[in-house]
Amino acid sequence: MENCPTSSSEAAARAPTKRVLVVDDDPGIRSVLVAFLEMEGYRVASARDGREALLLAKLDRPDLILLDLMMPSMSGWGFIAEQTKDPALADVPVVIASSFTCRMNVAAQLQKPFGLETLLDTIRRVAA
């Protein structure tokens, strides 16, 4: 007979940890999102813009990318354009987290400001 987990935290500890890449030019928003997702058990990396995000994603492929659109150097739109050209990254789901909304072919969109529980529900659904 196989041993069953005795609690949800034990089951979560045995589950593979999902890696999330948070991309936002606002250091305050970035640090809150990173801290919250780490508390929820995710491995988190963060980037200031799309250019830095592409480099990080190529070094350690994330399971999900949480992406702001309005950023200097390389915007979220620029990031998506480059991501979709790269066969190693093209299928990584993207969740847009921005005050700007538009029609894009992404896994989900969250309009800022959004609640942390809404964020967590979206990430759980998309990264499942």
DSSP, res 110: E
d(CA 57, CA 80): 12
Residue range 81-90, pLDDT digits in tens: 999 999 999 9
d(CA 14, CA 76): 34
Q: Which amino acid is at 102?
A: C
- Report the share of the chain in percent with pLDDT over 90: 80
Residue among 36, 27, 53 nearest 118 (CA): 36
Domain 17-126 has CATH 3.40.50.2300: yes
Residue 128 has pLDDT above 90, yes or no: no
Where exactly are the structural domains of the chain?
17-126
What is the torsional sign of CA 83, 88, 89, 92? Answer: positive
Mean pLDDT of 92-119: 92
Residue range 37-60, pLDDT digits in tens: 999 999 999 999 999 999 999 999
With a CB cutoff of 8 Å and minimum separation 6, the contacts of 124 are: none
CB distance 125 to 108 below 8 Å? yes
- pTM for this entry: 0.86
DSSP, res 118: H
Q: What are phi and psi of 55, to 5 degrees?
A: -60, -45
Residue range 20-29, pLDDT digits in tens: 999 999 999 9
